[in-house]
């Protein structure tokens, strides 16, 4: 057995490319958003708050990226369907610090492995997800 693994990690340069693509898509939708790009551990690599984006969106975008990374690449849009039919879990897990259970957080994959995450806040959950996917899609 090996003592170490080799895993892909999004670099600052890669994070900046994801950020730029996401911002361009937000502009095309007319959405003033915050975009956070994290590494595979959920640590922030790149961030931008577009002019007019809500102050609360700053932390929500970062928490969306963190949620994706902390759960191995599960998109935030997938959460509600997983917990909606389990009342104790539904009402308990949403109290977990930094957990976001609505769209806007997506993984960045490299060779089928989690390399980072993108979190977006500022539009509807569907718009946030589309903006995040525009950035993460660079590496699919």
Q: What is the DSSP string of 31-87?
A: ---EEEEEETTS-EEEEEE-TT--THHHHHHHHHHHHHHHTTT--GGGHHHHHTT-H
What local confidence, expressed as pLDDT, does residue 89 receive?
86
Q: Are 35 and 133 in contact (CB under 8 A)?
A: no
Cα 11 from Cα 44, distance rounded (Å): 11
pLDDT of 88 higher than 90: no
3.50.50.60, 1.20.210.10, 3.30.450.150, 2.40.30.10: CATH of 23-51+65-139: 3.30.450.150
List the domain boundaries for the chain.
23-51+65-139
Question: 98-135, pLDDT tens digit by residue?
Answer: 999 999 999 999 999 999 999 999 999 999 999 999 99
pLDDT, mean over the chain: 95
What local confidence, expressed as pLDDT, does residue 81 receive?
93
């Amino acid at each position: 057995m090996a003592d170490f693994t080799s895993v892909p990690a999004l670099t600052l340069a890669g994070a900046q490319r994801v950020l730029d693509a996401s911002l361009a898509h937000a502009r095309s939708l007319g959405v003033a958003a915050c975009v956070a790009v994290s590494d595979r551990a959920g640590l922030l690599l790149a961030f931008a708050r577009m002019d007019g984006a809500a102050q609360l969106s700053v932390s929500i975008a970062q928490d969306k990226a963190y949620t994706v990374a902390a759960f191995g690449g599960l998109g935030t849009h997938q959460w509600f369907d997983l917990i909606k039919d389990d009342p104790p879990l539904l009402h308990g897990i949403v109290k977990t610090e930094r957990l976001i259970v609505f769209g806007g957080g997506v993984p960045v994959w490299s060779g089928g492995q989690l390399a980072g995450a993108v979190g977006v806040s500022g539009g509807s959950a569907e718009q946030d997800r589309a903006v995040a996917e525009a950035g993460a899609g660079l590496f699919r």
